[in-house]
Amino acid sequence: MPGPRSAPPRPAPARADRPGPPRTARIPKPGPRRPAPAAPQPAVQLVAATTAQALDRADEAVDQLLDAGRKPGDILVLTVGEAHPWQQHELSFGEERYWAQLAEGGDVFYADAALTRPARREVVVLVVNGGTAGRAAEAYTKALGHTAALLVVCGDAGPAAAAAAAAGPTSGRLPA
């Protein structure tokens, strides 16, 4: 039959001729695991406000954050007392649509400070517009868990909030 003929198979090279570590080489085991570095704590800023002023101060804080370049979806507003009027408005369209907005993350979201759904935003504005001192302190702790970078507290959330704010920058305009 005309045409090329197949060549006989090549023998595999001897083990010593193969590239790579010799069989007796040991692969070093990794050393002890080091714990991951702790995540940085969010900055805390206090905005002085009475219970009656807290909602207005929170709205001003949100406006400042947006003016500074924050995206609306970066901001979560939590109220300790009565629901924010915008939350009440959004709930008028039904619970399902209201919670869908949280999942979509495209706009400022307003909720009660007792929020149990998973929500994490760059900035949380905590509005202490009522409730007891104990509820305000609990809301402060929960709000810290919802924020990645900045917690703005409008009103009196108790000694823990004051101590955290004293440890970091708290004066001047809200950081972007």
CATH of the domain at 81: 3.40.50.300
Residue 146 lies in a domain: yes
Residue 9 above 90 pLDDT? no
CB 102 within 8 A of CB 111: yes
Distance CA 118, CA 129 (A): 23
Rounded Cα distance between 15 and 169, Å, is 66
Residue 172 in 3-state DSSP? coil
The separation between CA 1 and the C-alpha centre of its own chain, rounded to angstroms, equals 75
Structural domain contains residue 2: no
Output the pLDDT for position 160: 72
Residue 30 lies in a domain: no
Count of structural domains within the chain: 1
Q: Is residue 14 part of a domain?
A: no
- Contact of 104 with 130, CB cutoff 8 Å: no
Whether residue 36 lies inside any domain: the answer is no
In a domain, 64, yes or no: yes
pTM, full prediction: 0.74
Q: Pick the closest to residue 149 from 60, 72, 43 (CA basis).
A: 43
Q: Is residue 143 part of a domain?
A: yes
Domain containing 110 equals 43-167
pLDDT in tens, 140-164: 999 999 999 999 999 988 777 777 7
The H-or-E segment that residue 101 falls in is: helix 95-104
